[in-house]
Amino acid sequence: MTRGPWPQQPPATTAPVSAEPLLTRDYDADPALVHERLRETYGPVAPVDLLGVPVWFVMGYEEVLRVLQNPGGAWSKRLDNWKMNAEGRLPADWPLLPVFQVNNSTFQEGATLNRLRAAWTTALAPFQDYGHPQAQQLEQAVVSHADDLIGVLAEGGAAGWADLAAQYARPLPLMVADRMLGFTAARGEDVVMDIWRMLDAGPDAAAAFERLYAAMTELGAAKRESPGEDLPSYLINAKPDITLDELARELLMLPGLLDFTGSLVCNVVVEVIANAGVRESLSAGAIDEAVNKVALLNPPMANLTFRYALTDVKMGNYTIPAGDPVMLSVAAAHGDPRFAGAIDWHAIRSTRAHLAWGAGPHSCLGQVLATRIAVIAVQRLFRRFSKVKLALPADQLPWRPSPFMRSLRSLPVQYELARVPAPPADTAAAEDSDAQTAATPAAGAASGAASPADEPAGKPSRSPLWSFLRGLRRAR
């Protein structure tokens, strides 16, 4: 690692012998403080150790944006451009290797990337374009799933406490993923449970990944035989030459992306609870604004998967040698004083110039959908609860240790259910389940009225997923 000129501090002529580990207890507790310290010591780019592997951690807003936009094509996302990997020096058991080996569009470039992104854009359109019946049905399903989940957590009574991460914000988007994938209800539930195992990267994660890959391949084959109104069928239709292997790898992205949506929901709930002004006026517009503010203050995709330098690139106070990886930190870029210092924090509408949805050739294609899911989830929650308060001070909430996401491990709250007034006629169907569940939570959760429209009545009381969710409630 070669060091370049640096005006504030005497320039070091040699690279650090061993870079400091990034993922420490301090980092889990307060990444912003760690960013500040690293910035002070190294400037906008810091050499760090990521679980035993040296990586350049990019924290400057301008630097992150430049690499994302990749104007001169100096950066590659392909794993084979990582020198350490090509030379066989990457430990075979490096914990993040499976993430990089999935080799889906996230790790492609050029024509292959363009074709896959075009397919994603077409396939997501029916879910994101509100004029399409799929988008409207999905929205109704989000409402139903939200109501079911609130019904289950409220079964103990009209007031109590709950973990809104495990019992609400996490399962809800994964149920949406399940629906978009077009699984049958029973198969879909196994998949949701395996997705949790995979994303939590526990001891059964590898086996869960194998099962998920097999499930996605099987699903792709079934949809090729008999297409439906779902993401796999739309992807096949948009890219008829996609192989089953390619399709399975692309489909595996969806649950992860929806888990990021779950993190976004949690972070917005905390923001809404902490900010009485927003809590009192919960229009969709106010929540939409809260979503943007949270994306700015606490981006769920905090750090991005690596880019590799194709030539020596001078950045910050260093020259990044060809073949070295950089990890772009969106969270640190948002805290960069050159960016954060220019923001009007009192503005009614927060800046959209943040990088929470990425930028450039790999920018997020699901922003509209993720925002809509988050807005509905938060709106439903606060419509159903008359009171919600954090059961822990905001600065003591526990975060999931992760190199990539900023996600709450749990979100303990105390709540009181509201009695919902009679709804306007056009929202009567959705609101009916509200009113019933608020009046008699247990009856509401188990009744057909609170079940998702496309699932058999009473399913929430029978299936393994709902038993699991009830187990969480009983365990409290």
Which pair of tokens denotes residue 257? 């992306």
Note whether 258 binds ligand HEM by CB under 6 A.
yes
Note whether 364 binds ligand HEM by CB under 6 A.
yes
Shortest reach from residue 249's CB to ligand HEM, in Å: 12
Note whether 100 binds ligand HEM by CB under 6 A.
no
| 460 vs 150: CA distance, rounded Å | 12
Note whether 50 binds ligand HEM by CB under 6 A.
no
Q: Which of 185, 257, 343, 443 binds ligand HEM (CB under 6 A)?
A: 257
Q: How far is Cα of residue 369 from the mean position of the Cα atoms in its chain?
A: 12
Straight-line distance from the first to the last Cα atom of the chain, in angstroms, rounded to the nearest whole number: 50
Three-state secondary-structure class, residue 318: strand
| Cα separations in angstroms, 22 against 14, 233, 356, 402 | 20, 41, 20, 11
Name the residue number minimizing CB distance to ligand HEM.
366
> Is the distance from CB of 127 to CB of 369 less than 8 angstroms?
yes
Shortest reach from residue 356's CB to ligand HEM, in Å: 5
Which pair of tokens denotes residue 305? 């998967």
Note whether 305 binds ligand HEM by CB under 6 A.
yes
Applying CB under 6 A, the span of 163-171, 184-192, 278-286, 293-301 interacting with ligand HEM comes to 293-301
Shortest reach from residue 149's CB to ligand HEM, in Å: 18
- Which own/partner contact pairs does 98-102 have at CB distance under 8 Å and 24+ positions apart? 98/206, 98/209, 99/305, 99/404, 100/305, 100/306, 102/249, 102/252, 102/253
What's the angle, vertex CA 303, arms to CA 106 and CA 58, rounded to 5?
105
Q: Which of 76, 81, 105, 292 binds ligand HEM (CB under 6 A)?
A: 105
Nearest to residue 254, comparing CAs of 369, 352, 153, 140? 369
Applying CB under 6 A, the span of 26-34, 37-45, 87-95, 116-124 interacting with ligand HEM comes to 116-124
Note whether 365 binds ligand HEM by CB under 6 A.
yes
Note whether 45 binds ligand HEM by CB under 6 A.
no
Applying CB under 6 A, the span of 13-21, 150-158, 255-263, 459-467 interacting with ligand HEM comes to 255-263
Three-state secondary-structure class, residue 45: strand
Q: Which of 261, 292, 303, 436 binds ligand HEM (CB under 6 A)?
A: 261
Pick 372 or 459: Cβ nearer ligand HEM: 372
Residues that bind ligand HEM (CB under 6 A): 105-106, 117, 120, 124, 257-258, 260-261, 264, 295, 299-301, 304-305, 356-358, 362-366, 369-370
